[in-house]
């Protein structure tokens, strides 16, 4: 592939975009996509998308379906996609397309860490968290029902923004890095905002959970109760319990405790605080309970973890 093709696709030769096999599991890497100047952002626009076997890639892919239809394949199942559908494929997640019927789509591919996008306010943006984190992470469990769908007028507006980004990447005039990042942030922000307007039961659940996650991450050191979290979500205690169990396979309080212990692991390694002080810093006043919880989730005591952390279990992941 030429550097121009890697940076910006043409719209009249979709097969040129896929030098990798159509069938069988394969991986696409950053050097297959991004140009030699190391700017990790590209637009791939395909007007007649072919069937494409399951594959993974080491970058994020933001997909906007513009025309036609296909079945979007994952390791867990297949889902029909239509014009206006928007979804995110995180790095390392296998996906592909089958039964493509005149499908036109555009992929915005990028490496989040290397772009150094400013994230001010993003974590507190429920639509962003729902679209870019929760829906991809729990797609198979919710059978793709939480994907974003743009109405025609918003799809046209988004298509124009992507075209503007495509033009900047193609011409690479002075300042194009700055302008491209600005356009990408606008695309991400507007899509996240539209997600907050979604009315499907799955999307509403994701948005409510996103608000709860933000509240937990901000106030994990406080004396949080299930009632506090349910109030933040606008749900009853029972409904919040059910939504958490369906999405994370754990209760809200277990999620909170895993976050607390994960933060405690980091605090144990970077400070000289006592075990009691570390426990209190993550919202657990009873040091004996903290030690039991730490042992349960990490597999060893807090003091043993502090002495030889590399020999033991890594901090628990919350999602």
pLDDT at 16 (0 to 100)? 40
DSSP bridge pairs for 65: 105
Question: Count of CB atoms within 10 A of residue 312's CB?
Answer: 14
pLDDT at 31 (0 to 100)? 59
**One pLDDT digit (tens) per residue for the chain, 319 residues:** 333 333 344 343 343 444 444 444 445 556 566 665 578 999 999 999 999 999 988 889 999 999 999 999 988 889 999 999 999 999 989 999 999 999 999 999 999 888 888 777 777 789 999 999 899 988 888 888 889 999 999 999 999 999 999 999 999 999 999 999 999 999 999 999 999 998 888 888 899 999 999 999 999 999 999 999 999 988 899 999 988 888 888 899 999 999 999 999 999 999 999 999 999 999 999 999 999 999 999 999 999 998 876 555 555 565 5
Angle, helices 252-270/226-233, rounded to nearest 10 degrees:
110
* Domain 3-195 architecture: Sandwich (2.60)
Helix %, strand %, coil % of the chain (to 5): 50, 20, 30
With CA atoms as reference, report the closest residue to 232 among 262, 212, 218: 212
Residues with Cβ < 8 Å from 8, sequence gap 6 or more? Answer: 42, 43, 45, 166, 169, 170
Domain boundaries, the chain: 3-195, 254-311
**Topology (CATH level 3) of domain 254-311:** Arc Repressor Mutant, subunit A (1.10.10)
pLDDT at 175 (0 to 100)? 93
DSSP bridge pairs for 69: 101
d(CA 220, CA 256): 7
Query: 241-249 long-range contacts, Cβ below 8 Å, gap at least 24?
Result: 243/205, 243/208, 243/209, 244/209, 246/141, 247/134, 247/138, 247/141, 247/142, 247/205, 247/206, 247/209, 248/318, 248/319
pLDDT at 36 (0 to 100)? 58
Report yes or no: 275 and 287 within 8 Å, Cβ to Cβ. yes
pTM metric for this prediction: 0.78
d(CA 303, CA 159): 55
d(CA 279, CA 294): 10
| CA separation, residue 255 to residues 52, 287, 318 (Å) | 37, 19, 6
Longest dimension (CA), the chain: 67
């Amino acid at each position: 592939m030429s550097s121009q093709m890697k940076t910006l696709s043409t719209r009249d030769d979709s097969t040129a975009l896929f030098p990798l096999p159509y069938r069988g599991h394969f991986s696409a890497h950053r050097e297959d996509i991004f140009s030699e100047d190391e700017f990790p952002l590209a637009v791939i626009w395909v007007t007649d998308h072919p069937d494409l076997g399951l594959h993974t890639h080491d970058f994020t892919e933001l997909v906007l379906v513009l025309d036609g239809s296909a079945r979007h394949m994952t390791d867990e199942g297949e889902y029909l996609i239509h014009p206006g559908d928007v979804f995110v494929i995180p790095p390392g997640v296998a996906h592909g397309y089958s039964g493509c019927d005149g499908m036109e789509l555009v992929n915005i591919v990028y490496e989040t860490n290397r772009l150094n996008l400013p994230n001010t306010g993003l974590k507190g943006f429920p639509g962003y968290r729902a679209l870019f984190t929760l829906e991809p992470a729990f797609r198979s469990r919710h059978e793709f029902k939480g994907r974003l769908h743009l109405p025609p007028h918003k799809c046209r507006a988004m298509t124009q923004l992507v075209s503007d980004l495509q033009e900047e990447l193609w011409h690479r005039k002075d300042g194009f890095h700055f302008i491209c990042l600005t356009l990408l942030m606008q695309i991400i922000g507007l899509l996240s905002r539209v997600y907050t307007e979604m009315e499907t039961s799955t999307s509403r659940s994701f948005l409510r959970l996103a608000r709860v996650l933000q509240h937990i991450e901000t106030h994990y050191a406080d004396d949080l109760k299930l009632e506090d979290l349910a109030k933040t979500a606008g749900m009853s205690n029972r409904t919040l319990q059910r939504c958490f169990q369906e999405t994370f396979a754990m209760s809200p309080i277990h999620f909170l405790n895993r976050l607390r212990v994960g933060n405690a692991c980091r605090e144990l390694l970077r400070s000289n605080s006592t075990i009691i002080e570390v426990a209190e810093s993550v919202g657990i006043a009873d040091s004996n309970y903290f030690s039991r919880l730490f042992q349960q989730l990490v597999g060893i005591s807090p003091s043993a973890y502090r002495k030889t952390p590399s020999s033991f279990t890594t901090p628990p992941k919350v999602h």
